[in-house]
Amino acid sequence: MNLLIKGGRVIDPSQGIDEIMDVLIADGVVLELGQGIATPEGTQAIDATGLLVTPGLIDMHVHLRDPGLEYKEDIATGSRAAAAGGFTSVACMPNTSPVIDNKAVASYVVNKAQSEALVNVFPIGSITKGSKGDSLAEMGDLKEAGCVAVSDDGKPVCNSELMRRALEYAKGIGITVISHSEDLALVGEGVMNEGFVATELGLKGIPWAAEDIAVAREVYLAEFASAPVHIAHISTAGSARIIRNAKARGVKVTCETAPHYFTLTDDAVRGYNTNAKMNPPLRGESDVAAMKAGLADGTIDAIATDHAPHHPDEKDVEFNVALNGIVGLETSLPLSLKLVEEGVLDLKGLVSVMSCNPAKILGIDRGTLRVGAVGDVTVIDPGKEWQVDAAKLESKSKNSPFLGWKMKGKAVYTVVKGQVVYQA
C-alpha cells in the first residue's frame, strides 16, 4: 500500500527542508515531496497537521540481547520498543551470547530481524574475538554478513597496538570502529561517579579521568592512523573538550552521548537506586552542562540511547552487584525534545543528531526524505503529554530511572519502508 503523509511540518536537514509539506511514499520509497499532493487511489493517508514529519529516527547504540540473553530482551520486543519510541532503525551491539564476532552469528541476527523485527536492525560486530581483547575478529566477514560497525562495547580494547591495527584494518574495508572508552585500572571496583554523592553513600567511585584518558588515547590513535573512530556514550566535560580540540585539528573523530547524560546527575543514585546505575556512570552538573554545550556546538554528533535491558533479578539487588544499564528507546525522544525547549538545539539540529548523523557515521542509506530514499519516516507530536509507566513499556525489561516521569513529546506514527509499524 502507498502512503501519503499530509500537511505536516517536514524537517529534513539532509535537504535543508523545514516547511509544511506532503510526503508520498510508494513501493517503500519516497516518491514525491511537495504541497497539495493529490491522494492516489488505494493510498493510505495520514493527516499530520500540527505534527512534525522527519526522516526515521536512528538509534546507533542498543542492546537487543539476542542471541543468548532473550530473558532480558529479544529482537521482536526490542524492535517494538524502538517503533514506540519513533525509531525506524537501530544498530545492536555484539555483547550477546555468543558474541557477534563471526559471520554465522551476524547472519543469525540479520535473518531473525528480517522475520521478526518491526524496524530495521543493523548488527554491530565485535572488534576482537569474543570481545576478549586478544586478537582481531574477521571484520571483512562481519561486514559481508551485514554488520555496519565493530565495537567491543561493554569493554575497552586495552591493548593500544591492537586498537591501532583495528582502526587501520577497518579504514581499509570501510567499516566504522566504535570505542567503549574507559581505563579499567582507574575504574577499579568503582560503581558510580567519584564525588560527594559517592562518599555520602559509601560507594566506590569512578573518576572522570577513567573516561578522559581512554578517549584521549583513541583520538591520538585515530590521528596517528589517519583513520576514523567513533566514541560511544561520552559523559564527561573532559571527553567533550578532547573531542572538540581533536576535531579542530582535523582528526576524524565522531561521538555520541545518551539522554541520561544530559538529563540526570549522580544525585539520581541517592537511595541506592540501581536504575540509575550505568557505565559510564551519571556525572555531575558541570558534565551535564558540557553534554548540552557539545550538542549545541556540534562536538557531539549523535544522541544514542545505549538501551540496556536487564531482568528485575539483576537490578533488585545491592547497588554494588547490580548490573549496569537502563532501557531508553521509549524515553529518548521526549528527553531530547527538551533540548529544543531549552534552546540547546533547534529542531533541525535535533533531527541531525537523531537521524541524519547516525546514518552517516554508520554508512547506511537512511536519515533522509530525498525522492528515491527508503520510506522511513517518524511523525511526532511535540506537545503530547504522557507518563512513563512500566506496565506500558514495550521493552521486555523495565529498568528505567524515568519511571513515573511526565514526558512531553511522542512519536505518533512510525513508518518503515512505507508501512506504519506503530501508531500511538
CATH of domain 57-367: 3.20.20.140
AA letter at 69:
L
Residue 412 sits at φ, ψ, to 5 deg, of -105, -20
Q: Looking at residue 374, what DSSP letter applies?
A: B
Kindly report, residue by residue over 114-173, the tens digit of the pLDDT. Answer: 999 999 999 999 999 999 999 999 999 999 999 999 999 999 999 999 999 999 999 999
* Ranges of each domain in the chain: 2-52+374-423, 57-367
The secondary structure of residue 100, as a DSSP letter, is S
pLDDT for 191 beyond 90: yes
Average pLDDT, whole number, for the chain?
A: 98
- Summarised one tens digit per residue, pLDDT across range 199-212 is 999 999 999 999 99
Choice among 306, 365, 381, 389 that is catalytic: 306
- Cβ neighbours of residue 234 under 8 Å, at least 6 residues apart? 181, 211, 215, 240, 243, 255, 256, 257, 261, 280, 291, 294, 300
Residue-wise pLDDT tens digits, 99-109 = 999 999 999 99
Kindly report, residue by residue over 300-358, the tens digit of the pLDDT.
999 999 999 999 999 999 999 999 999 999 999 999 999 999 999 999 999 999 999 99
Contacts of 32 (CB under 8 A, 6+ apart): 22, 23, 24, 371
Q: Which residues are annotated as a binding site for substrate?
A: 63-65, 95, 279, 310
In percent, how much of the chain has pLDDT > 70? 100
Q: From the annotation, which residues make up the binding site for Zn(2+)? A: 61, 63, 153, 180, 233, 306
Per-residue pLDDT at 1 exceeds 90: no
Residue 306 annotated to the active site: yes
pLDDT digits (tens, 9 = 90+) for 394-414: 999 999 999 999 999 999 999
User: What Rg, from alpha-carbon coordinates, does the chain have?
Assistant: 20
**Residue 79 carries which DSSP code?**
H
Per the annotation, binding residues are: 61, 63-65, 95, 153, 180, 233, 279, 306, 310
Q: What is the pLDDT of residues 34-87, one digit of tens each?
A: 999 998 888 999 999 999 999 999 999 999 999 999 999 999 999 999 999 999
Chain mean position to CA 390:
21
Whole-number pLDDT of residue 236: 98
Average pLDDT over residues 259-278: 98
pLDDT digits (tens, 9 = 90+) for 10-33: 999 999 999 999 999 999 999 999
* Alpha-carbon distances of 316 from 277, 322, 326, rounded to whole Å: 12, 7, 13
Beta bridge partners of 12: 17
Residue 18 confidence (pLDDT): 98
Range 2-52+374-423 classified under CATH 3.40.50.300: no
